[in-house]
Amino acid sequence: MKKILLASAFAITTGLSGPLMAEVHKGDHHQRYMDHLTEKLELSAEQQEEVRSIHKEQYEKHKALRKESKERMKEVLNAEQQEKFEEMRKEKHKKMKEKHGDKHHESAE
Protein backbone atom coordinates (compact mmCIF):
# COMPACT_ATOMS: atom_id res chain seq x y z
CA MET A 1 0.00 0.00 0.00
CA LYS A 2 2.85 2.36 0.87
CA LYS A 3 4.41 1.73 -2.54
CA ILE A 4 1.15 2.51 -4.30
CA LEU A 5 0.72 5.75 -2.36
CA LEU A 6 4.28 6.82 -3.07
CA ALA A 7 3.97 6.00 -6.77
CA SER A 8 0.63 7.81 -6.95
CA ALA A 9 2.01 10.89 -5.23
CA PHE A 10 4.98 10.93 -7.59
CA ALA A 11 2.74 10.55 -10.65
CA ILE A 12 0.47 13.36 -9.51
CA THR A 13 3.39 15.63 -8.69
CA THR A 14 5.12 15.11 -12.01
CA GLY A 15 1.87 15.18 -13.97
CA LEU A 16 0.79 18.52 -12.57
CA SER A 17 4.20 20.09 -12.69
CA GLY A 18 4.55 20.24 -16.46
CA PRO A 19 1.96 22.93 -17.14
CA LEU A 20 3.10 24.95 -14.14
CA MET A 21 6.77 24.80 -14.95
CA ALA A 22 6.37 25.44 -18.67
CA GLU A 23 5.96 29.11 -17.81
CA VAL A 24 9.23 29.15 -15.88
CA HIS A 25 11.54 27.72 -18.53
CA LYS A 26 13.64 30.08 -20.58
CA GLY A 27 12.66 30.81 -24.14
CA ASP A 28 9.91 32.46 -26.12
CA HIS A 29 7.11 31.15 -23.94
CA HIS A 30 8.71 32.52 -20.79
CA GLN A 31 9.25 35.90 -22.39
CA ARG A 32 5.64 36.02 -23.63
CA TYR A 33 4.47 35.13 -20.13
CA MET A 34 6.60 37.90 -18.61
CA ASP A 35 5.36 40.36 -21.23
CA HIS A 36 1.78 39.37 -20.41
CA LEU A 37 2.31 39.86 -16.67
CA THR A 38 4.11 43.14 -17.23
CA GLU A 39 1.30 44.49 -19.38
CA LYS A 40 -1.68 43.21 -17.39
CA LEU A 41 -0.22 43.98 -13.96
CA GLU A 42 1.72 47.07 -15.06
CA LEU A 43 4.89 45.74 -13.46
CA SER A 44 7.80 48.08 -12.94
CA ALA A 45 11.28 47.02 -14.04
CA GLU A 46 12.11 46.19 -10.43
CA GLN A 47 8.97 44.06 -10.08
CA GLN A 48 9.79 42.25 -13.31
CA GLU A 49 13.20 41.29 -11.95
CA GLU A 50 11.66 40.10 -8.70
CA VAL A 51 9.09 38.00 -10.57
CA ARG A 52 11.85 36.48 -12.70
CA SER A 53 13.81 35.71 -9.56
CA ILE A 54 10.78 34.05 -7.94
CA HIS A 55 10.16 31.93 -11.02
CA LYS A 56 13.80 30.89 -11.27
CA GLU A 57 13.89 29.95 -7.59
CA GLN A 58 10.70 27.89 -7.92
CA TYR A 59 12.07 26.19 -11.02
CA GLU A 60 15.25 25.19 -9.19
CA LYS A 61 13.29 23.89 -6.20
CA HIS A 62 11.01 21.91 -8.48
CA LYS A 63 13.97 20.45 -10.36
CA ALA A 64 15.53 19.30 -7.08
CA LEU A 65 12.20 17.80 -5.97
CA ARG A 66 11.90 15.86 -9.23
CA LYS A 67 15.41 14.50 -8.75
CA GLU A 68 14.67 13.49 -5.15
CA SER A 69 11.39 11.83 -6.18
CA LYS A 70 13.15 9.86 -8.89
CA GLU A 71 15.79 8.66 -6.43
CA ARG A 72 13.13 7.63 -3.91
CA MET A 73 11.22 5.76 -6.60
CA LYS A 74 14.37 3.74 -7.34
CA GLU A 75 14.43 2.66 -3.70
CA VAL A 76 10.84 1.38 -3.91
CA LEU A 77 10.74 -0.26 -7.34
CA ASN A 78 12.43 -3.50 -8.32
CA ALA A 79 14.66 -3.60 -11.42
CA GLU A 80 11.85 -4.59 -13.79
CA GLN A 81 9.54 -1.90 -12.43
CA GLN A 82 12.31 0.70 -12.68
CA GLU A 83 12.83 -0.18 -16.33
CA LYS A 84 9.10 0.11 -17.06
CA PHE A 85 8.88 3.36 -15.14
CA GLU A 86 11.79 4.84 -17.09
CA GLU A 87 10.12 3.85 -20.37
CA MET A 88 6.90 5.50 -19.19
CA ARG A 89 8.82 8.70 -18.39
CA LYS A 90 10.53 8.68 -21.78
CA GLU A 91 7.21 8.19 -23.57
CA LYS A 92 5.63 11.04 -21.62
CA HIS A 93 8.60 13.27 -22.42
CA LYS A 94 8.37 12.36 -26.10
CA LYS A 95 4.66 13.24 -26.19
CA MET A 96 5.32 16.55 -24.45
CA LYS A 97 8.02 17.40 -26.97
CA GLU A 98 5.67 16.54 -29.83
CA LYS A 99 2.92 18.69 -28.35
CA HIS A 100 4.98 21.65 -27.15
CA GLY A 101 8.35 21.41 -28.87
CA ASP A 102 11.83 21.10 -27.36
CA LYS A 103 12.08 24.59 -25.97
CA HIS A 104 9.99 23.98 -22.85
CA HIS A 105 11.15 20.57 -21.76
CA GLU A 106 14.43 19.30 -20.44
CA SER A 107 15.76 15.97 -21.54
CA ALA A 108 14.35 13.05 -19.60
CA GLU A 109 16.10 13.04 -16.25
Q: How many helices and strands in the chain, by DSSP H and E? A: 4, 0
Mean pLDDT, the chain, rounded, equals: 80
Look at residue 100 and tell me whether its pLDDT is greater than 70: yes
User: How many alpha carbons lie under 13 Å from residue 105 in its C-beta half-sphere?
Assistant: 20
Measure the CA–CA gap between 109 and 104, rounded to whole angstroms: 14
- For position 24, what pLDDT does the model report? 45
Measure the CA–CA gap between 1 and 86, rounded to whole angstroms: 21
Average pLDDT over residues 97-108: 64
Torsion angle of C-alpha atoms 81, 72, 97, 13, degrees rounded to 10: 110
The predicted model scores a pTM of 0.55
- For position 15, what pLDDT does the model report? 54
